[in-house]
Structure 1
Amino acid sequence: MFNNRFFRSGVQKAGSQTKHEKSGNEQFLTEISKWVFHERGHLKAVNVKHHKVGETDEPALYRINDELEYSVEIYEWSGTSWEPYVANDVQVQFYMMSPYVLKTMSHDKKGLFSTSFKVPDVYGVFQFKVEYQKLGYTSLSLSKQIPVRPYKHNEYERFIPAAYPYYGAAFSMMAGFFIFSFVHLYSK
């Protein structure tokens, strides 16, 4: 496959019977060998970060319904240096058994991919996952676990407006019980 005969072989152009042009074998094999030896199409991810919106520190856990931001820098090896990678199809999954959130990340054309989303109303151990596979590039597989907890008992609202009918029902039952008891005890 890499011998000179295949590199210099010619192809006959359609419609012509004598004109031979150089085939693309040499260019194809040069490009594929660059890819195999990571001289082209090699991706790397650095600075994987996640934090609550408005903060910069990475927390040890999140609470349900928190707003968070996720970012990663992706670079491509150009043969001499790492250049920012630009693509519109890099996605992050917020995953527990199956993806609860799947977001396409936006980029700043300097290699930084980021997105923000709301933590689902489910608690457990989640993972941030980036599984990026594109033809002609090495694949990226990033994963990081993070626990998500429910609200603590003192983090809920004291009186929930949607529960007023239930509060009314409880107090009316108490009032009815006292009136029934009073009438039953003091009647002849």
Structure 2
Amino acid sequence: MNLCEACSFAVSRHEKSGNEQFLIELSKWVFHERGHLKAVNVRHHKVGESDEPAIYRINDDLEYSVEIYEWSGTSWEPYVANDVQVQFYMMSPYVLKTLSNDKKGLYSTSFKVPDVYGVFQFKVEYQRLGYTSLSLSKQIPVRPYRHNEYERFIPTAYPYYGAAFSMMAGFFVFTFVHLYSK
């Protein structure tokens, strides 16, 4: 009796299980032939300007942009996704914005610097399954207004101005009454 005759089933042919394709894709990812991301041209500047400043002032409007590309195995091609975010971060994120893309690899957004001064960071932490992670960080200080950059008269301070002038007037009246009364 043959071993095959002893088995109740016969194996005539087998189907591929997909392990070969999985290992091919895994090796492409491991050796950065697929799913490898790179970020270039990280830029930030005030709205309407093109130069990158060394310091921002509170309440400035700024633009942030970055180009993200993916390695296709032969060349760098634009990476297109809608979940890339930037954080304007000090101790915790003050601004968290999703970057809009132009389908050519350029991601950008604009926002207003918060009314808090200190040392902030632009942070892009992008992690997606099947792709290498991107971790971009750039430190930038934010300063308050200088003494000569405020408005001359602030409308919300009119009650305080009135209180100061009424106190001066009351002081002069009290002095006059105290000096010239018997």
User: TM over 0.5, yes or no?
Assistant: yes
How far apart in 1 are the matches of 2:146 and 2:118? Answer: 14
Aligned residue runs from structure 1 range 1-188, under 5 A = 20-188=14-182
SS at match of 1:177: helix
Q: Aligned AA for 1:44?
A: K
Give structure 1 regions of 4+ aligned residues with deviation exceeding 2 angstroms.
17-21
**Correspondence for 1:7:** none
Per the TM alignment, residue 21 of structure 1 is displaced from its structure 2 partner at its CA by 2.4
SS at match of 1:163: helix
Gaps of 5+ in 1: 1-16
Per the TM alignment, residue 49 of structure 1 is displaced from its structure 2 partner at its CA by 0.3
Q: Deviation digits for residues 138-164 of structure 1, max 9, x if unmatched?
A: 000111110100000000001111111
Q: Deviation digits for residues 82-113 of structure 1, max 9, x if unmatched?
A: 00000001000111111111100000000000
Gaps of 5+ in 2: 1-10
Per the TM alignment, residue 75 of structure 1 is displaced from its structure 2 partner at its CA by 0.2
Q: Give the percent of matched residue pairs that are identical in Structure 1 and Structure 2.
A: 90
TM (norm. structure 1) is 0.89
Per the TM alignment, residue 20 of structure 1 is displaced from its structure 2 partner at its CA by 4.4
Tell me the C-alpha RMSD between the 2 structures.
1.3
SS at match of 2:38: strand
**Correspondence for 2:5:** none
How far apart in 1 are the matches of 2:128 and 2:163? Answer: 60
How far apart in 1 are the matches of 2:104 and 2:98? Answer: 17
Q: Aligned AA for 2:118?
A: G
